[in-house]
Amino acid sequence: MLLRNKQVAIVGGGPGGLTLARLLEQSGASVKVYERDLSRHGRVQGATLDLHHESGLAALRAAGLLDAFRAHYRPGADRLRLTDQHATIVLDDHAEAQAATFGDAHFRPEIDRGPLRELLLDSLQPDTVVWNRQLVAMQRLGAGWEMTFQDGTTAVADLVVGADGANSKIRPVLTPIRPFYSGVTVVEGSLPNSAQHAPRLHELVRGGKVFAMGDVKTLIISAKGDGSLAFYTGCKTTETWARNSGIDFTSAAEMLAWFRQEFAGWDAIWQELFASEATYCVPRPQYCMPLDQTWPAQPNLTLLGDAAHLMPPYAGEGVNMAMLDALELSQCLTSNQFPDLQAAIGHYEQHMRERAATVAAETLEQTEALHSPGALAQLVGLFSGVA
């Protein structure tokens, strides 16, 4: 095996990095995951994720974790309601009988990000994940790499995989190519205990998702298993809007004032998202990597997930692409068909970039369509066609 007697370092303990660690350990590789969180419980995890048959679920099948996933996924969390800005329901997935199940290519079961991370962590060998390791620098050391972390500690590895997301510290070591702004900024928010703080929205969401559209804006709300709501507003803005707005995004009162102004004409029901001081918001300008990006393959360094192919979230492919990256990279690194690691990495990266470019093009089209005057009719047609 190409990884015999080699130490693999995965920087980033998200679904992609942890899936890769699991798959490589299954093949007998020596793996460490360096994660910036203080511990496995050090940070509240994000929204519900839908996993796809050919990508996220395929990776879990290869990792021997499909039974664990079945025990933790949330049946019914994929139920969807589409509304206009007045909260008028124009498509209701709750009214349809759900026949699809595991093995069906159209079945996209939902799981909260936290439980998904937990089941991946539980599948790893003890001490695989090294917590409180935020990478600040990396330099070549012989045929490998020396990594320096924020706490002053260092580690060495023969092969480094950057799974450290949109603001990857690994990516600039591999390529100078940078993402471009998509034209849309998302405000991501979380509201705990929706039954108490947002009873009307709690009933509207009904444990699933709501997509609301109007005035070339979007509002996506997703229920989580802990009783909270995750939500995402989408607006066309300048790239620097969040930085120059003067808004304190940690203040529910200021966010409510902003929402009332920006979403003027929308029904008051949506303002329940900001009814509690516990509401937490963060602005996220949406970026995308160039569709034609390329770089020469290295023998000891590669990327997966957002670090490799960042794009807006509107196609729902982010976590699925990261987990498929992990599956395909693990297959290349443990295959006997390549003469060396550079050839294996090169094969993976070429296919990964081609696949990502196709999805990114579709995602950019969808991002524009959802923030256009005909967004609601377009989405109703899309989901009706799928149904």
**Which residues have C-beta within 8 Å of that of residue 101, sequence separation ≥ 6?**
107
| 361: β partners | none
Q: Is 113 annotated as a binding residue?
A: yes
**Distances from the Cα of 108 to the Cαs of 56, 101, 127, 221, in angstroms?**
10, 8, 32, 17
Q: What are phi and psi of 129, to 5 degrees?
A: -90, 130
Could you tell me the sign of the dihedral formed by the alpha carbons of 165, 171, 176, 177, in that order?
Answer: negative
**Distances from the Cα of 35 to the Cαs of 25, 164, 193, 206, 280, in angstroms?**
17, 9, 29, 34, 23
**Which residues have C-beta within 8 Å of that of residue 248, sequence separation ≥ 6?**
254
Could you tell me the sign of the dihedral formed by the alpha carbons of 59, 21, 160, 182, in that order?
Answer: positive
Instruction: Report residue 384 as tokens.
Output: 């009706």
Render 69-133 in DSSP notation, one character per residue.
HHHH--TTTT-EEEEETT--EEEEGGGS-----TT-TT---EEEHHHHHHHHHHTSPTT-EE-S-
Q: Is 292 annotated as a binding residue?
A: no
Q: In the chain, how many H helices and how many E strands?
A: 13, 17
Question: CA dihedral defined by 280, 363, 311, 319, rounded to 10 degrees?
Answer: 70
**Which residues have C-beta within 8 Å of that of residue 92, sequence separation ≥ 6?**
81, 82
Do residues 141 and 156 touch, judged by C-beta distance below 8 A? yes
Instruction: Report residue 165 as tokens.
Output: 């997301």
Instruction: Report residue 330 as tokens.
Output: 């693990």
Do residues 201 and 223 touch, judged by C-beta distance below 8 A? no
Residues that constitute the known binding site for FAD: 50, 113, 306
Annotated binding site for NADPH: 43
Q: Which residues are annotated as a binding site?
A: 43, 50, 113, 306
